[in-house]
């Protein structure tokens, strides 16, 4: 109801005011016609020419001044002297409610005639163009202007520049790399306009350029006084795999990774962090290339300078494994001091082939200082010295001629190694394995891991060597064999091996003998393996015995010299050599001295090696398995 009353009231007031307005208008017209004035006459062509001239002066993409002619709910009509009024959206005017008809405003001509024939104007674009002109002047004069950072985008920041959004690249925010871009949002900065893209109306600003100008004098002052040995304070600007870049106040220098610490450094981040304030010393300066080499470890004395005050031979130390090589492990006992534990110094009992068998990278280990070389800065360490040396009381534990049981650890061409206890190995030479058999390789006699009875023949404690024997466990049987297998005695042998010149047989006492091929049958034997097999038992007579060379030669032919035909026929049937019966009939005509007895080299027993020779011989590494 109140709204209706207000409307009715307004209507009544308008009805009252209308006659008064008309009366004033009539009065003004009468005064105009009564006055004396000259009105120039203008024909239609002159009017059209004036109008076209006015229209021709109005162009798109330009600013113009206009008069507010009409205001509606959504639009404002502007008269810029064109043949029709231009239309501007009411929303483009800030404070549109304060506008009145007749007010002069700035507008931007976007289109002289749109599809419906209207003149299209823009207030917002006019405001932008006025600001754009100000920005162009800022770029031209390089004047400093404040901005506010609005938000973060890819590659940098968006800032508010005189009401227009401009781009601040990440590299132009600060002279140092920006770690946290989000922390800059909302901050106010002074900048310079450094680039304008007219077609796209893009603006690029820089804050860094102002900082660099500020630091120019400081940089010059630093460079002027820069010299080797100068100690400066700076800020860690960047960290790479090879070193650290330090900002000295507008001038960057490099601390190489090897100059960060006297100790071993895997990566610079172990020593410093970004934005950390550090003290450095100038190591070198190249004015032409403007390269500054800095150091941090040089500000402290080298740890080796005072090593004698802290460490001596025999000192027990603790350190971290920092490197492994084929020959040992390097241990860092403190920053700048490393020692080598050779693989031979790692264990009394284990045969270390590679240090990784005993230690691992990064492991903390204990060791004993064996030697200090201050001149070459070398430190020899040992781990096994932490435990008692099992060889210290070896003579008392393993006297000469004492018998022991050990485990075969390794086989070589010249013998085998027997472990008496962890860390204590002895060598059994191949000639000390058997009294009765020719051993070509220890592998024919034993295998790795077998238990073996041995006797101690000799000890060299200084060189950590023990000479052992196996055959010496029993007495030398050749004194007994001299009577048991004298020339002319009969026996039986089992074929062990067939060789080119005959067969090797094992006699009843476990000793080997040799039967030449000519003594196997009455007839010549072309291929022994066709008529004789390993394992066959053969009746034999000893035709030669030599105690010194340990040689026993036997003959089947001599065995049957005085045997009857039945025994000979049975032997020939078991070993059917062609024509054996024919030759057997003439056996009485053969003489022993006519027999071909060529003793094979492979049957010749090894000459025993003196114990001192075994102890002093060059013996390969005991962990070498190449001859297994």
Give the residue numbers spanning the domain of 358: 303-386
3 domain-assigned: no
From residue 164, alpha-carbon distances to 100, 136, 141, 148, 203 in Å are: 28, 13, 19, 11, 9
> Looking at residue 11, what is its pLDDT?
38
> Looking at residue 6, what is its pLDDT?
38
Same domain for 108 and 199?
A: no
615 domain-assigned: no
Same domain for 111 and 148?
A: no
**480-488 contacts: CB < 8 A, separation 24 or more?**
480/509, 481/509, 481/511, 481/545, 481/547, 481/552, 482/545, 482/547, 484/509, 485/509, 485/511, 485/513, 485/542, 485/545, 485/552, 486/542, 486/545, 487/542, 487/543, 487/544, 487/545, 488/541, 488/542, 488/543
88 domain-assigned: yes
C-alpha torsion sign, points 39, 42, 47, 49: negative
Same domain for 291 and 232?
A: yes
Same domain for 485 and 513?
A: yes
pLDDT under 70: residue ranges of the chain: 1-57, 61, 115, 217, 349, 584-628
Question: Rounded to an integer, what is the distance from CA 495 to the centroid of its chain?
Answer: 63
> Would you give the DSSP letter of residue 522?
S
Same domain for 590 and 487?
A: yes
> Looking at residue 38, what is its pLDDT?
52
572 domain-assigned: yes
Same domain for 113 and 193?
A: no
Nearest to 347 by CA among 125, 600, 622, 1: 622
> Looking at residue 606, what is its pLDDT?
58
Residue finishing a domain among 61, 94, 127? 127
> Looking at residue 613, what is its pLDDT?
66
Residue 548 belongs to domain with CATH number: 2.40.50.140
Tens of pLDDT along 156-167?
A: 999 988 877 889
473 domain-assigned: no
Same domain for 192 and 294?
A: no
35 domain-assigned: no
216 domain-assigned: no
- Rounded to whole angstroms, the Cα distance separating 495 from 556 reads 12
Same domain for 252 and 346?
A: no
Residue in this structure with the two tokens 């089992």, named with its chain if needed: 494
> Looking at residue 165, what is its pLDDT?
83
Residue 591: phi and psi, rounded to 5, are -110, 150
Nearest to 499 by CA among 526, 529, 479, 473: 529
Residue finishing a domain among 272, 299, 326? 299
> Looking at residue 21, what is its pLDDT?
45
pTM over 0.85: no
C-beta separation of 596 from 555 below 8 A: no
The most distant pair of C-alpha atoms in the chain lies apart, rounded to whole Å, by 191
> Looking at residue 453, what is its pLDDT?
93
Same domain for 507 and 593?
A: yes
DSSP letter string, 178-221 = PS-GGGGTT-EEEEEEEEEETTTTEEEEESHHHHHHHHHHHHHH
For the chain, the domain total comes to 5
Same domain for 169 and 256?
A: no
Residue finishing a domain among 151, 183, 210? 210
401 domain-assigned: no
Same domain for 98 and 199?
A: no
Same domain for 266 and 354?
A: no
């Amino acid at each position: 109801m109140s709204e209706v009353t207000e409307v009715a009231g307004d209507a009544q007031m308008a009805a009252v005011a209308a006659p008064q307005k008309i009366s004033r208008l009539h009065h003004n017209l009468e005064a105009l016609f009564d006055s004396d004035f000259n009105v120039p006459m203008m024909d239609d062509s002159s009017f059209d020419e004036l109008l076209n001239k006015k229209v021709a002066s109005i162009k798109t993409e330009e600013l113009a001044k206009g008069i507010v002619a009409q205001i509606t709910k959504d639009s404002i009509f502007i008269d810029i002297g064109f043949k029709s009024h231009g239309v501007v959206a009411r929303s483009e005017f800030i404070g549109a409610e304060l506008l009145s008809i007749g007010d002069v405003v700035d507008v931007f001509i976007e289109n002289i005639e749109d599809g419906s024939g209207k003149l299209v104007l823009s207030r917002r674009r006019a405001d932008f163009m006025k600001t754009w002109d100000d920005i162009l002047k800022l770029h031209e004069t390089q004047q400093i202007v404040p901005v506010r950072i609005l938000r973060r985008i890819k590659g940098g920041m968006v800032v508010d520049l005189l009401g227009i959004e401009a781009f601040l690249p990440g590299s132009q925010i600060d002279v140092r790399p920006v770690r946290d871009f989000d922390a800059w949002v909302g901050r106010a900065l002074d900048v310079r306009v450094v680039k304008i893209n007219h077609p796209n109306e893009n603006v690029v600003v820089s804050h860094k350029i102002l900082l660099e100008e500020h630091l120019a004098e400081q940089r010059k002052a630093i460079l002027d006084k820069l010299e080797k040995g100068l100690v400066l304070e700076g800020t860690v600007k960047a960290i790479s795999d090879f070193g650290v870049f330090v900002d000295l106040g507008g001038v960057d220098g490099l601390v190489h990774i090897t100059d960060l610490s006297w100790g071993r450094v895997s990566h610079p981040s172990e020593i410093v962090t970004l934005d950390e304030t550090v003290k450095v010393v100038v190591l070198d300066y190249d004015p032409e290339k403007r390269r500054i080499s800095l150091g941090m470890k040089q500000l402290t004395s080298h740890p080796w300078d005072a090593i004698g005050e802290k460490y001596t031979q025999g000192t027990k130390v603790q350190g971290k494994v920092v490197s492994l090589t084929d020959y040992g492990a390097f241990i860092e006992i403190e920053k700048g001091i490393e020692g080598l534990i050779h693989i031979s110094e790692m264990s009394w009992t284990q045969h270390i082939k590679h240090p990784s068998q005993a230690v691992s990278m990064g492991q903390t280990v204990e060791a004993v200082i064996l030697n200090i070389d201050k001149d070459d800065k070398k430190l020899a360490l040992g781990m096994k010295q932490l435990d008692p040396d099992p060889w210290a009381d070896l003579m008392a534990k393993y006297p000469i001629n004492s018998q022991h049981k050990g485990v075969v650890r390794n086989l070589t061409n010249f013998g085998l190694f027997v472990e008496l206890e962890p860390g204590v190995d002895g060598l059994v030479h191949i000639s000390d394995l058997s009294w009765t058999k020719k051993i070509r390789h220890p592998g024919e006699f034993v295998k790795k891991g077998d238990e073996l009875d041995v006797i101690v023949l000799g000890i060299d404690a200084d060189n950590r060597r023990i000479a052992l024997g196996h055959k010496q466990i029993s007495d030398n049987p050749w004194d007994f064999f001299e009577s048991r297998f004298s020339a002319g005695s009969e026996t039986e042998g089992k074929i062990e091996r067939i060789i080119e010149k005959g067969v090797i047989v094992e006699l009843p006492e476990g000793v080997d003998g040799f039967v030449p091929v000519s003594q196997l049958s009455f007839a010549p034997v072309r291929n022994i393996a066709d008529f004789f097999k390993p394992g066959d038992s053969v009746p034999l007579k000893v035709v030669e015995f030599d105690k010194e060379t340990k040689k026993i030669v036997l003959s089947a032919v001599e065995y049957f010299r005085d045997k009857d035909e039945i025994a000979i026929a049975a032997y020939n049937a078991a070993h059917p050599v062609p024509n054996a019966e024919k030759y057997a009939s003439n056996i009485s005509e053969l003489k022993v001295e006519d027999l071909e007895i060529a003793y094979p080299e492979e049957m010749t027993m090894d000459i025993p090696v003196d114990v001192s020779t075994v102890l002093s011989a060059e013996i390969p590494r005991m962990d070498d398995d190449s001859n297994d």
